[in-house]
Amino acid sequence: MDSLRTPIPSSMRLITFGLNHKTAPVELRESVAFPEASLSQALTQLRQLPEVQEALLLSTCNRTEIYACVDENMDSQIASWLQQQAGQGLDLSRYLYQHADRDCVLHAMRVASGLDSMILGEPQILGQMKQSYQAARDMQATGPLLSRLFEHVFSVAKLVRTETEIGANPVSVAFAAISLARQIFADLGEQTALLIGAGETIELTARHLAEQRPCRMIVANRSVERAQRLAHRHHGYAISLEDIPTHLSEADIIISSTASAEPVLMLADVKAALRKRRHKPVFMLDLAVPRDIEPAVGKLEDVYLYTVDDLKNVIADSLRSRQQAARAAESLIQLRAEEFMHWLVSRDASSTISALRERAQAEQAALLERAQRMLAQGKPVDEVLQFVTNGLVNKLLHHPSTALRSAGAEEQAQLLEAAVRLFDLDEKQ
């Protein structure tokens, strides 16, 4: 579409830097994951970068992305800032992607609609984007450009969900987690499950798990009260994170998804639990980024440890029915992105028109002042009117005429075409 190929015609640009489950493994994603407690500080640092005028930071288990409105006349330091967060031991350059202007708009719409998710069409990412947007607004990190963009993005995501079948069939990280557990254990009804965390992912996991009627369900969370509410809904038992080592040996299935910046399940605790289990195998699924389960646990002989990245194959089988809906969603997004680009162009045109009017009014005021002096000096009215009209024509056309004469051949052709259209000229004259 022609309008989508048009860059934002101003000194400000929309830009996205990020990495996700498609471009980077979990060990790199967790190095730049921003828990809620550190989000405010990170946004403050971003806004202090010289070129950044507006900023929003999205951080989930599958992606970390920075959306920003930047000064196009300055070199961007966002990628360098993100690299600093990861530390010197990790090189993010191979894994980062960057989108500008129309591509930034399209990417944001795809992400919000679930088209860029590990699980095609999953709805959780839209809620996460809304939370990130609200956090940025609360900090006054967003301005007119990002605010308009994300309000448009959210309306498009809602439209995609209502007008396509992208959300049909039960496909989610939680659903895939239980599907993977069923591949390990033929009958979950004989197993005890330990769920660590009490957020949305664990709530969905508990719901899918309850349908399999496990022998027992234990929910561990930093807030025991929240764990109790979740456990009660599914006839489970609630414990605190500190009590996990005591109950670890009871669990055949362990699924963890917390917002902890550090692992909550350590190698020493798992080793001790395996001795009590007499090395009976245990299935573990770490859905958190940063990871909840110390990676070395995966090397233990009787542990089957998977991360969120390992769900890709499980998910693939459940997504085929959504592919056609995704194509319809892409077409809808292209159209809505065109609308947003038209708004950006018209927004810039408005400021140009205002500047043009201001210049014309300034020239008119200067000529009017001279005309009044001439009348005061007794000059004939006809002579003054001739001076004013000639002067106004010369003043308004001087710069356009000079630009047309001094332009190179290719640029001159473009300017001439624009002049004919702007001034409604008859090219045959």
What are the catalytic residues? Answer: 61
- Find residue 58's DSSP bridge partners: 65
* Whole-number Å distance between alpha carbons of 344 and 65: 22
Among residues 127, 105, 108, the alpha carbon closest in space to that of 5 is found at 105
* Whole-number Å distance between alpha carbons of 57 and 63: 10
Contact (CB, 8 A) for 121 and 166:
yes
Contact (CB, 8 A) for 157 and 332:
no
Cα 215 to Cα 180, 230, 252: the distances in Å are 18, 17, 10
* Whole-number Å distance between alpha carbons of 42 and 60: 15
Tell the burial category of 381 from Cβ atoms under 10 Å away from its Cβ (0-12, 13-18, 19+): exposed
402: left (phi over 0), alpha (psi -120 to 50) or beta: alpha
Contact (CB, 8 A) for 186 and 213:
no
What b/e string do you get for 309-343 counting C-beta neighbours within 10 Å, with b at 16 or more?
bebeebbeebeeebeebbeebbebbeebbbebbee
What values do phi and psi take at 170, rounded to 5?
Answer: -80, 90
* Whole-number Å distance between alpha carbons of 178 and 167: 19
